[in-house]
Amino acid sequence: MQYTHEHLAIQKTMRRFIDEEINPHVDEWEAAEAFPAHQVFKRMGALGLLGLNKPEAYGGGGLDYSYAMALAEAVGHVNCGGVPMAIGVQTDMCTPALARFGSDALKREFLAPAIAGETVGCIGVSEPGAGSDVAGLKSHARKDGDDYLISGQKMWITNSLQADWMCMLVNT
């Protein structure tokens, strides 16, 4: 793909952030088996890196997906696997469905803070006996007044230990 100057500027910003804010701490975070997601995401949000292809109305960049891919390439410069995965969950797993299908109220409550780096999101898909085979999901939700009651089990939820909210896939 031919990147524009804007794509390259995003990559440069992310690589500088990685060199200054992430890689110097990777060994410490790996030893602790955790990283400060809220702090890292808050700084990334301030740089506009968590919602490049999300709607401008909720703090995103309103750019096409090629910018998110340019960012993902730059994230590959992190000296471990866990932090890039956590970033990818925030930018490309838990927020896309919310951006596309969420009500305005849900976008204000969950999407805007995630883009700003004020909250950490996670995604609940995998289940015992089904793994990530979405056709085999057993978890379900049923309407109860204005709410939904969810029954089922989820596992292998990246970011869950620090998450403020979850995008969960269930049958209705």
Does 16 map to a domain? yes
pLDDT, residue 134, reads 87
Per-residue pLDDT, 129: 87
Average pLDDT over residues 55-74: 98
Q: Three-state SS for 140?
A: strand
Question: Is 146 domain-assigned?
Answer: no
Predicted confidence (pLDDT) at residue 1 exceeds the cutoff of 90: no
Query: Stretch 50-57: mean pLDDT, rounded?
Result: 98
According to DSSP, the β-strands at 147-151 and 140-144 are: antiparallel
**Domain range holding 97?**
5-119
d(C-alpha 38, C-alpha 44), whole Å: 10
With respect to residue 14, please indicate whether it lies within any of the assigned structural domains: yes
In a domain, 164, yes or no: no
The reply to whether the predicted model has a pTM over 0.75 is yes
Count CA within 13 A, CB hemisphere, residue 64: 5
Cβ partners under 8 Å of residue 78, min gap 6:
18, 22, 23, 26, 84
- Residue 148 within any structural domain of the chain: no
Total count of domains within the chain: 1
Q: What is the rounded distance in angstroms from the CA atom of residue 82 to the CA atom of residue 162?
A: 13
Residue 16 is part of a domain; what is its CATH number? 1.10.540.10
pLDDT in tens, 130-171: 888 888 999 999 999 999 999 999 999 999 999 999 999 999
Q: Is the pLDDT of residue 113 over 90?
A: yes
99 within some domain? yes
In a domain, 31, yes or no: yes
Q: Is residue 103 part of a domain?
A: yes
